[in-house]
């Protein structure tokens, strides 16, 4: 599968469009280099001194039991705050969540999407975010530093593109004969909640693709080693990797089900238009319904639904390859073990034949008076009789072993025939 982060616009590197959702929107050319260290995008924390260490530890003790969150508003400003999921702070009109939503947010590990009156709660893989029409709240304890940095970068880049699109629309409106282009720019402008949803979904896709690539590299290395030598340690490692792939596939399937659950219901898709609902509430108009044009949300969710589905299919194919390799290796080990057991039985039967022949020869070698030892034919007769007894015992036991093996295979064949019949 071609990575979503590797898809680029044919206009060049400055027109990088990494999401399938952006493929159906024309690229807005960047006028300058983008830097995350820009003063209007990333706040610079004050320099810490030795005198602030005590206050920092005190604030850490004060914030025990509270969730550390990173808030990004519609202007790209980033702030850090603490919220308490155990109080009514999360269930107020500020966030519009229910106690059940807060409980699942704090304790549940299953991916889900909850849409409320003014908030969209997304728990996808390791990312937990609250999306509102003018800000996004990212819970830092649920996402790794790399995924959190990637999500914040996506949000800031989206805000920068939105600002450049607005500037281009204003310039097009002032130019004579460019009214159609201005209208086109206005139609292309997306509200903040959709930029936030796009950034969250893309961050989850990137994290899933990275983890799947790491698992695939480990699987290919183990499978190559199994082609050269099948040993117990490698099979145990492959078993652990199979469990890891199964867990990853389950997590990706849960994300796919969460996105599909929103797509299957038009009222849920209409509820994603948080800005439209807020404007309708302020102006006394009706909010977006399933009868309105929901193309933006449907294309956004539909493109990422395809991406998640591809990841799930790749994970399932990888799990199938690992399972087939395990079955083949187990069959080879079973066949080798059966051959070793058969060889052991053959050696035991040979030892039994030699013991049977030497039993008769022992009488000849005993230190007793015997007329056999005084004759010339005694030694050849005893040797020949011992050899005949050993050969007879060996032939009989090998025939019994061959008969047992033939009966076992015949029994399996009859069982298979009865099952097919």
User: Distance between CA 391 and CA 21 in Å, rounded?
Assistant: 82
At residue 393, the pLDDT reads 85
Lowest mean pLDDT across 66-70, 85-89, 190-194, 214-218: 85-89
Closest CA to 222 of 236, 212, 211: 236
> Average pLDDT of 213-239?
87
Indicate the DSSP class of residue 136.
Answer: E
Q: Which spans in 284-374 are helix H? A: 295-364
At residue 21, the pLDDT reads 40
Q: Which spans in 175-265 are helix H? A: 179-188, 192-228, 232-263
Torsion-angle region of 286 (φ positive above 0: left; ψ -120 to 50: alpha; else: beta): beta
At residue 257, the pLDDT reads 93
> Average pLDDT of 393-419?
65
User: Distance between CA 234 and CA 218 in Å, rounded?
Assistant: 12
Residue 62 in tokens: 């004060």
> Average pLDDT of 411-421?
43
Residues ≥6 apart with Cβ < 8 Å to 245: 215, 219, 315, 318, 319, 322
pLDDT digits (tens, 9 = 90+) for 147-193: 667 677 777 676 666 667 666 766 766 665 544 444 444 444 678 88
At residue 288, the pLDDT reads 57
Domain positions in the chain are 4-28+38-43+64-331, 339-420
User: Distance between CA 207 and CA 147 in Å, rounded?
Assistant: 7
> Average pLDDT of 384-399?
85
Closest CA to 182 of 165, 204, 161: 165
CB 169 within 8 A of CB 182: yes
pLDDT digits (tens, 9 = 90+) for 236-262: 888 889 999 999 999 999 999 999 999
Closest CA to 323 of 245, 228, 234: 245
Homologous superfamily (CATH) of 4-28+38-43+64-331 is Magnesium transport protein CorA, transmembrane region (1.20.58.340)
CB 147 within 8 A of CB 126: yes
pLDDT digits (tens, 9 = 90+) for 299-351: 999 999 999 999 999 999 999 999 898 888 888 888 888 888 888 888 888 88
Which residues are paired to 70 by β-bridges?
Answer: 80, 138
% of the chain residues with pLDDT over 90: 12
Residues ≥6 apart with Cβ < 8 Å to 316: 249
At residue 8, the pLDDT reads 36
For the beta sheet containing 120-124, the strands, ordered from the edge strand earlier in sequence to the opposite edge, are 78-83, 67-73, 135-139, 127-131, 120-124, 112-115
Residue 216 has pLDDT above 90, yes or no: yes
As a whole number, the mean pLDDT across the chain is 72
Band of residue 36 on the pLDDT scale cut at 50, 70, 90: very low
Residue 414 in tokens: 């009859």
Q: pTM for this structure?
A: 0.66
């Amino acid at each position: 599968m071609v990575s979503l982060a590797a898809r680029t616009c044919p206009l060049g590197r400055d027109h990088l469009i990494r999401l399938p959702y952006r493929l159906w929107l024309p690229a807005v050319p960047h006028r300058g280099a983008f830097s995350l260290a820009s003063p209007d995008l990333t706040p610079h924390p004050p320099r810490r001194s030795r005198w602030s260490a005590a206050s920092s530890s005190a604030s850490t003790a004060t914030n025990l039991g509270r969730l550390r969150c990173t808030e990004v508003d519609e202007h790209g400003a980033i702030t850090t705050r603490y919220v308490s999921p155990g109080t009514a702070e999360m269930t107020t009109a500020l966030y519009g969540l229910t106690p059940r939503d807060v409980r699942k947010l704090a304790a549940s590990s299953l991916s889900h999407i909850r849409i409320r009156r003014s908030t969209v709660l997304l728990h996808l893989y390791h990312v937990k975010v609250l999306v509102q029409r003018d800000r996004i709240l990212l819970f830092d304890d649920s996402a790794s530093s790399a995924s959190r940095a990637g999500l914040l970068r996506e949000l800031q880049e989206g805000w920068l593109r939105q600002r450049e699109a607005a500037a281009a629309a204003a310039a097009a409106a002032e130019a004579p004969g460019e009214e159609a282009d201005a209208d086109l720019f206005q139609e292309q402008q997306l509200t903040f909640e959709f930029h936030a949803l796009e950034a969250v979904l893309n961050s989850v896709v990137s994290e899933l693709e990275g983890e799947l690539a790491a698992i695939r590299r480990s699987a290919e290395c183990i499978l190559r080693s199994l082609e050269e030598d099948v040993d117990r340690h490698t099979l145990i490692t492959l078993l652990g990797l199979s469990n890891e792939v199964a867990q990853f596939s389950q997590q990706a399937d849960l994300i796919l089900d969460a996105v599909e659950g929103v797509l299957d219901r038009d009222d849920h898709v209409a509820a994603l238009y948080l800005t439209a609902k807020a404007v309708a509430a302020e102006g006394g108009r009706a909010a977006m319904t399933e009868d309105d044009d929901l193309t933006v949300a449907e294309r956004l969710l539909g493109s990422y639904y395809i991406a998640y589905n591809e990841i799930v299919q790749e994970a399932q194919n990888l799990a199938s390859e690992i399972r087939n390799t395990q079955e083949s290796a187990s069959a080879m080990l079973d066949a080798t073990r059966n051959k070793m057991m058969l060889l052991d039985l053959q050696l035991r039967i040979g030892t039994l034949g030699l013991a049977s022949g030497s039993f008769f020869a022992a009488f000849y070698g005993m230190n007793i008076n015997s007329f056999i030892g005084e004759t010339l034919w005694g030694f050849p007769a005893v040797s020949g009789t011992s050899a005949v007894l050993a050969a007879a015992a060996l032939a009989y036991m090998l025939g019994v072993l061959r008969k047992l093996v033939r009966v076992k295979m015949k029994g399996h064949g009859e069982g298979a025939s009865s099952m097919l019949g």
